[in-house]
Amino acid sequence: MTFDPDNPLHAIARWTAETPDAWSPLARTRARDAFIDVIACMVPGAREDVTRRLIPLAHDWGRGDCRTVGYAQGLSAPMAALVGGTAAHALDFDDNFDPAKAHATAVLAPALLAVAEARGMKGSALIDAYIVGLQIIGRVGQGVNPFHRSRGWHATATVGAVGSAAGVARLIGLDAERAAHAISIATSLAGGFMSQFGTMTKPVHAGLAARGAVEAALMAEAGITAGANTLHGPHGMGTLMVGPDVADLRERMKTIDEYGQKVEFSAKDIGNPLMIEKYGLKVKRFPNCGSVHRALDGLLELRAKYGFGPADVDHILVRAPAAHLRNLMYERPVTPAEAKFSLEYGLAVGLLTGNAGLGDYESEAIARPEVTALLPLVRKDYVEKLESEFSTQVHVTLKDGRTVSTEVDFPVGSTIHPLTEAQLWDKFDACVAGFLDAERGDKVKAMLKEMDSDMPVRELHKQLV
């Protein structure tokens, strides 16, 4: 392969293969914390109905020596990634990554864990590959967003697969040429529509993307080649997964800073800024769609400040970016999956209880009359602006005639309002309660704290099956 310095695929692949493992303590700590958070989500996610239905299929489709969280059955690396990614995203409690508009870790971490298990790798190799893979997930996301996602593509499934293939390529030591082929192959394995939100297939998207990332890297390692123009070319991802008006959209984004999203792939400064440092990840406070979080944070802030309860409220008006509200299509949810994509349900639970936890998204909780009675109180105003252009506004009109209001730019769990280390471990404990006994839970926590070391990934998996 002749490398073209102006080809973003080549630039991304060269950086993936050749950038030194010399990351800052901040980058390495955030990568470790991402594994803590995603494994917390995978433990209960492995017992969700969608994952339980998937595991026997994965076992039939690809037996091997890999384990995945919650299951001891031997799977091939791609099948372990499929099950692991699905488990990671099954509760919609996993992190968000703004440059990609995607659930990055739910794809990247299970793909890396599967390959590291298969090849007997150490935890420190995962940390390095995670930082590299997250960077490329971000770069690919910036090349197609914000319009890729706002037009209905599920970026977790598309951008996640492509960028995670770079992470796996890094993990297994592919050179720049084969890394380019891995990333290019992954564009042919990337797909997923937001019309699947609120269904079992939505978390399967993360699993399919993780599987695709592993398959793409292993195919490239085996010598399978792919095209050089699959990102920026006229028939590449940047056009086909955005739209024929992409040139006009690029002009629009030239003066807007939306997490670096310019609808254009760059071949310059692939590693600068380092995205895990500049943007970090949004660790979820609530187990529902991230589009609920700014509004729910705002409501809970007002509830705590003014001391009102359900009996005091006439109605709640949420004014928010239309892209957020379009994700929340279930005004009267009847299943846990639908409830996760319901602004009305999330705010009703928050108004009633002052929180929204895992128990609120179990089947028996959805139809509680004290919650369903509050759903009609929530009203929505779709504002046709980008997330960076418009804060989420929450206006609560009380029965005594007062209206109290707040605006939220960044949810709790973002780098602006991060969870403390204690809060992250509290989330871990709440997620694994009932799935890991105290002794195993303590062993897993100890291993995760020391993940950036020579800890064998297989030893971690032994505690998680």
DSSP 46-110: TTSHHHHHHHHHHHHH-EEEEEETTEEEEE-HHHHHHHHHHHHHTTS-S-BBTTTTB-HHHHHHH
Assign 188 to helix, strand or coil. coil
The string of pLDDT tens digits covering residues 339-373 is 999 999 999 999 999 999 999 999 999 999 999 99
Q: How far apart are CA 95 and CA 287, in angstroms?
A: 10
User: Which residue has tokens 């109180």?
Assistant: 377
Q: What local confidence, expressed as pLDDT, does residue 384 receive?
A: 95
- pLDDT at position 188, please? 98
pLDDT value of residue 1:
74
Could you give the CA distance from residue 173 to residue 185 in angstroms, rounded to a whole number? 17
Share of the chain above pLDDT 70, in %: 100
For residue 275, pLDDT beyond 90: yes
Please write the tens of the pLDDT for every residue from 393-449. 999 999 999 999 999 999 999 999 999 999 999 999 999 999 999 999 999 999 999
Digit-coded pLDDT (tens) for 70-105: 998 899 999 999 999 999 999 999 999 999 999 999
Quick one: pLDDT at residue 401?
97
Cα distance between residue 199 and residue 224, in whole Å: 34
Q: How far apart are CA 272 and CA 278, in angstroms?
A: 10
408: enclosing H helix or E strand = strand 403-408
Handedness of CA 143, 146, 151, 153 (dihedral sign): positive
Q: Tally Cβ neighbours within 10 Å of residue 128.
A: 22
Average pLDDT, the chain: 97
What does the DSSP 8-state code read for residue 282? B
Paired tokens of 356: 């929204």
What's 309's DSSP letter? Answer: -
* Span 178-195, pLDDT tens digits: 999 999 999 999 999 999
Query: How many helices, marked H, and strands, marked E, lie in the chain?
Result: 22, 6
162 and 186 Cβ atoms separated by less than 8 Å: yes
How far, in Å, are 138, 156, 246, 354 from residue 27 at the CA level? 15, 22, 33, 33
Question: Is the distance from CB of 103 to CB of 97 less than 8 angstroms?
Answer: yes
- Beta-bridge partner residues of 392: 408
Burial class (CB in 10 A: 0-12, 13-18, 19+), 20: exposed
Q: Which region holds residue 366: left if phi is over 0, alpha if psi is between -120 and 50, else beta?
A: alpha
Contact in structure between 184 and 176 (CB atoms under 8 Å): no
- Indicate the DSSP class of residue 124: H
Residue 180's nearest CA partner among 372, 4, 302, 361 is 4
Helix, strand, coil in percent for the chain, rounding step 5? 55, 10, 35
Q: What is the pLDDT of residue 454?
A: 96
Pick from 63-72, 178-187, 229-238: least confident: 63-72
pLDDT of residue 73: 81
Residue 350 has a pLDDT of 98
- Alpha-carbon distance of 250 to 253, in angstroms, equals 5
pLDDT in tens, 283-315: 999 999 999 999 999 999 999 999 999 999 999
CA distance to 21, 26, 331, 353, per residue, from 127 (Å)? 10, 12, 40, 38
Share of the chain above pLDDT 90, in %: 98
What number of other Cβ atoms are within 10 A of residue 256's Cβ? Answer: 12
The whole-number pLDDT of residue 326 equals: 95
Q: 4 pLDDT exceeds 80?
A: yes
Which residues fall within 8 angstroms of residue 252, CB to CB, at 6 or more apart?
none
- Maximum distance among all alpha carbons in the chain? 72
Q: Give the DSSP H/E element, type plus range, for residue 152.
A: none
State residue 2's pLDDT score.
84
The neighbouring-strand residues paired with 321 are: 383
